[in-house]
Amino acid sequence: MVTLPHSPILAPSLLAGDHANLAASAAVVADNGLRWLHLDLMDGHFVPNLTFGPETLAALRRAGSKLFFDTHLMLAEPQRYIAAFAKAGANLISIHIEPDSDHAGTLAEIRRLGCQCGIVLNPGTPAEAVRHLLDQVDLVLVMTVQPGFGGQSFQPAMLDKLAQLDRWRRESGATWRLEVDGGIDVNHARECRAAGADTFVAGTAFYKARDRAAFAAEVEGLA
Ligand code: DX5
Ligand code: ZN
């Protein structure tokens, strides 16, 4: 077995937390010994749903959260909002490849603002679409469901895309993280890990777990 560059990280998605009590839902993540929190930002244009905005991140910081804010922008025009998210306390900001824009410029701007940057692919988008950006990202996020809603079923066809991206990463000696998002439970996390993933977003599976600590330990303990 070839060793992957990073040990596994579980990033619970706050989307599946209690929206009347987001600070408490974020605190649960830290209380379970986890370091990352995944924040899903939706604009009703790029995806047919709405969530929260930069002020929510700022409020979580004011409430004391020290988690690494893994910020997933599902926005038609992310370049208009990255400064606000950086100021609000994002640590990593990911943008989708599908909206037509200056992706390279936006990724560079995210770094200039002091954050790590990531590029995201929808299930229908091939790995080739982001190949030209792989030398300027800290993370590649492969959506394993169509973005917009939590609680959907994992799409196994995404495993080949992960394996392709992982091959390119090995060939180039790059160290960006390879993240999966959508329908991830322990079994799917294991399959994705075998295909090269090292960062696992889980909304439903984490917040609805009978034993969250056990779930976290299983995912972050994957070989
Ligand atoms: C979907 C979001 C996901 C979602 C995952 O658009 O990007 O982060 O919260 O939720 P589950 O784990 O329930 O599929
Ligand atoms: Zn997400």
User: What's the total number of domains in the chain?
Assistant: 1
Owner of token pair 């560059």: 5
Residue 2 counted as domain residue: no
Catalytic residues: 40, 181
Mean pLDDT of the chain: 97
List, in sequence order, every residue forming a beta bridge with 68; answer none if it has no partner.
Answer: 36
Q: Check if 150 has its Cβ closer than 6 Å to any atom of ligand 1.
A: yes
Specify the ligand 1 atom closest to the Cα of 42. 6
Residue 26 counted as domain residue: yes
**Confidence label for 3 from pLDDT (cuts 50, 70 and 90):** low
Alpha carbon of 196 to those of 2, 5, 47, 92, 189: distances in Å? 10, 9, 27, 20, 10
Question: Domain span at residue 161?
Answer: 9-220
**Confidence label for 4 from pLDDT (cuts 50, 70 and 90):** confident
Residue 3 counted as domain residue: no
- pLDDT tens string 144-198: 999 999 999 999 999 999 999 999 999 999 999 999 999 999 999 999 999 999 9
- pLDDT tens string 92-137: 999 999 999 999 999 999 999 999 999 999 999 999 999 999 999 9
Cα 147 to ligand 1 centroid, rounded to whole Å: 7
Q: Give me the CATH number covering residue 146.
A: 3.20.20.70
Q: Check if 16 has its Cβ closer than 6 Å to any atom of ligand 1.
A: yes
Number of H helices, E strands in the chain: 8, 8
- pLDDT tens string 49-67: 999 999 999 999 999 999 9
Residue 1 counted as domain residue: no
